[in-house]
Structure 1
Amino acid sequence: MPTNEQRISINWNGSTIRKIMVLGLMSACLVGCGNAPTEKTVSTPDSIENHNHPRIKVPVTADDENVAKTKARSGLEGDGWVFDPLYATAVNTDRRDLAVCGFARQRGTTNSVYFAYYSGELILSDDKAPSGVSVENEFLTMICSQS
C-alpha cells in the first residue's frame, strides 16, 4: 500500500508546467472577456481608443524626424544605419496620436528594420516572427498604415 507521500507525488516537468500556465492564461482571458464592461470608461484624447480610427499621412517636422532617427539609432545595434525618407501618420490633421515611421538598413550587412517612434517609445519590427504573428509587427502595421 503506497504512503500518502507516494500517492500525492506528481511528476512536474517543464511541459506540464507550461501547459498549466497556458491553461491559466487562457482561463484568465476568458474570464476577463466575459466580464468586459459595456460602457467605455477611457476618455483621454490620446487613449488606445484612437487606434480604431483611420490614420492619415501628416507632414514630418524636422524636429520629429531628428528625434525619431536619434531614438532609432540608440535602439539599433551597430553603426552605419541609413534611413529611407520618414513619414508620419496621425488620426487627424492636428497630428493627434502621431507616429513617425520609417525603414532603415545597415550598410555592409543584410540588416534592415521597420520602426516607429510613437508616444515617446521606439517600436522595432520583429524580423524573426512570421508575418502577422508578432505583436510588434501588428502594432507597427496599425500605427504606420494610412487610409
Structure 2
Amino acid sequence: MKMNILLGLMCACLAGCGHAPTEKTVTTPDSIENLNQPRIKVPVTAKDDYVTKTKALTGLEGDGWVFDPLYATAVNTDRRDLAVCGFARQRGTTNSVYFAYYSGELILSDDKAPSGVSVENEFLTMICSHS
C-alpha cells in the first residue's frame, strides 16, 4: 500500500513536470504541488515527536530501537506539508534506518536497494532535505 502511494506520488510529480498549470486547484497540505517547493527546517513539537516515534516503533521489527533527535521539514514556517524525519539504530545489532512520518504514513529507507537508490530513498531525500 505504501509503495503504491509513493509510486503514485512520484509518477504524478513526473507527469506534472511536463506542463505548467494555469490555475492552482489543489489546496490540501499534502498536495503534489508542494513537492517541487524548496523545504525548510521547522521545529518538531512534542506531539510530532511522540506520534512519529510511536509510528516508527510499530513499523520496525524487534526491540531496543534508539532514536537520534528528530527534525522536521515543511514548505513554509506555518508547517505546511510537514515531514518529521529521523534516524534510529537497534541496540546490540547493526540494524539502522532512516525514516519519515509524512501525511499519516511511515516511510522507511530501503537499505537493500542497489547503491541505496529506491523509490523510498528518493522520496525520503526529497521530503527530508532542507535549505
Instruction: Give the TM-score of the pair, scaled to structure 1.
Output: 0.72
Say if 2:43 is the partner of 1:59.
yes
Say if 2:26 is the partner of 1:43.
yes
Query: How many correspondences in the alignment?
Result: 114
- In structure 2, the residue matched to 1:99 is 83
Q: List runs of 5+ in structure 2 lacking aligned partners.
A: 1-10
Overall identity of the aligned pairs, in %: 82
> 2:41 is paired with a residue of what secondary structure?
strand
> Counterparts of 2:55 and 2:35 in 1: how far apart (Å)?
23
Larger Rg: 1
Say if 2:113 is the partner of 1:129.
yes
> Counterparts of 1:69 and 1:38 in 2: how far apart (Å)?
38
> 2:111 is paired with a residue of what secondary structure?
coil
Q: Is the 8 A contact 2:110 2:116 kept in 1?
A: no
Q: Is the 8 A contact 1:58 1:89 kept in 2?
A: yes
- In structure 2, the residue matched to 1:24 is none
Q: CA RMSD in A?
A: 1.9
Question: One-letter code of the match for 1:43?
Answer: V
Q: Which has the higher contact order (CA 8 A, sep 6+)?
A: 2
Q: CA deviation at 1:39?
A: 3.5
- In structure 2, the residue matched to 1:88 is 72
> 2:49 is paired with a residue of what secondary structure?
helix
> 2:58 is paired with a residue of what secondary structure?
helix
> 1:100 is paired with a residue of what secondary structure?
strand
Q: List runs of 5+ in structure 1 lacking aligned partners.
A: 1-28
> Counterparts of 1:103 and 1:125 in 2: how far apart (Å)?
10
Q: Is the 8 A contact 2:68 2:87 kept in 1?
A: yes
> Counterparts of 2:116 and 2:60 in 1: how far apart (Å)?
22
Alignment equivalent of 2:57, drawn from 69, 73, 77? 73
Instruction: Give the TM-score of the pair, scaled to structure 2.
Output: 0.80
